[in-house]
Structure 1
Amino acid sequence: MSSDRLFKFARMAGVASLVAVAGLLSACQVRPLYAVSTGVTQKLSEVSFSDVNTRVGLQVRNQLIFIAGRGAGETKTPKYSVDLSVSSGTGGVLYLPSSSTSAAGRTTVTASFTLKEISTGKVIKSGSRAVTSLVDFPTQEFAKQRAIRDSEDRAAREVAEMVAADIGAALSR
């Protein structure tokens, strides 16, 4: 008889915990960042990005424009501006003593940004993001340069995605 009571108690506790979890989840306000109802998509399309001087910086800027405008390009009447600064560097990590060269390396792209409201000049968000991309160094010099360039492009795309997510989150508040 005591095992029957224990079974009923366990079943009631299970039902009570399910009801409690359902209540907690119903209070959750999780929603997609780029949902139409949040207005983030509209605000992102009103962002302009500063000019940059390097090839990698241009890759980051172009990707940000593509993400913010949903492929439509940069806006003509921006309400927000992003001051963008991009740096990159590549270094070897796997040293081969026999040839005094590296067989593999990594490329790091760092993007620093400041999001401002143009009408007031108020800084909404500033931050810095960095992405590291791994690269193999072939023995041929042209192939090595091309591998480094591809690594920079991969890292630039990734850092642009991270910066765009930061900007979107800041504009959603």
Structure 2
Amino acid sequence: MSLSDFTGRFRVLGLVCALFVLAGCNVRPLYGTISTGSAPAQEELAAIDIDPADDRVQQVLRNELIFLFQRGGEAAPARYRLRMILNSTKSSVAVEELSDVPAAYLVQMTTSFALSEVATGRTLLTGSTFANASYDFSNQRFANLRAARDAEDRAAKVIADDIHTRIAAYFAEQKS
């Protein structure tokens, strides 16, 4: 047996193994219609009512989720309710060498959420997610306030994307 025969057989064997691996793959579009004719996950997402916010950061998170769920369209009649608990902390991560003043801060956010049916009150999905965002500290007061607010907004958007993806995946799984 020559080296080229061995290489050719090895390639064919690799191709057959790859086909077996891909045969078990179940890929389908998250927002498209499924071949059974059921409604896409987007219709379920538009029917989620989100509890009111208590502060500015929670309002940013809520607004992001509303936009992600409704895609800028009209809200459907509420069939689901999303409750969230957001915790946020700020800590210094770098200190100026000679002045002992923070040079950078880290905003850490953790959110627990629960999705339930409005009609029955039955909990469908629970989870927790987190995000971190850092910002530099300067000697300008207004710049520090804006940098902190921007870091909070960035972290809230990351959390909103994660919650949206998890809930969309849940509905897509239920439809299959």
Gapped regions of structure 1 (runs ≥ 5): none
CA deviation string 1:77-98 (max 9, x = no partner): 1111101122222221112253
| Aligned-partner Cα distance in 1 for 2:131–2:152 | 10
Secondary structure, aligned partner of 2:120: coil
TM-score if structure 1 supplies the norm length?
0.88
Deviation at 1:10, TM superposition (A): 3.4
Deviation at 1:54, TM superposition (A): 1.0
Alignment partner of 1:11 is 2:8: yes
Report the identity percentage: 33
The one-letter code sitting in structure 1 at the alignment partner of 2:154 is R
Alignment partner of 1:122 is 2:122: yes
| Aligned-partner Cα distance in 2 for 1:101–1:107 | 17
Secondary structure, aligned partner of 1:65: helix
Q: CA RMSD in A?
A: 1.8
Work out which of the two has the higher radius of gyration on C-alpha atoms and give 1 or 2: 1
Q: What number of residue pairs does the alignment pair up?
A: 169
CA deviation string 1:36-92 (max 9, x = no partner): 33721111111111112010000000000000001125x251111101122222221
Deviation at 1:109, TM superposition (A): 1.9
Spell out structure 1 runs of 4+ moving beyond 2 A.
6-10, 31-38, 96-100
Deviation at 1:169, TM superposition (A): 1.6
Moved more, 87-96 or 6-15: 6-15
The one-letter code sitting in structure 2 at the alignment partner of 1:62 is N
Deviation at 1:122, TM superposition (A): 1.4
Q: 1:98 to 1:16 in 2, by over 3 A?
A: closer
- Does the CA-based 8 Å contact 1:56-1:88 persist in structure 2? no
Secondary structure, aligned partner of 1:172: helix
CA deviation string 1:95-121 (max 9, x = no partner): 225333201011112221100112222
Q: 1:76 to 1:14 in 2, by over 3 A?
A: closer
| Aligned-partner Cα distance in 2 for 1:8–1:109 | 58
Write the mapping of 1:6-155 to structure 2, written as runs, cut at 5 A.
6-37=3-34, 39-72=40-73, 75-96=75-96, 98-155=98-155
Secondary structure, aligned partner of 2:53: coil
TM-score if structure 2 supplies the norm length?
0.87
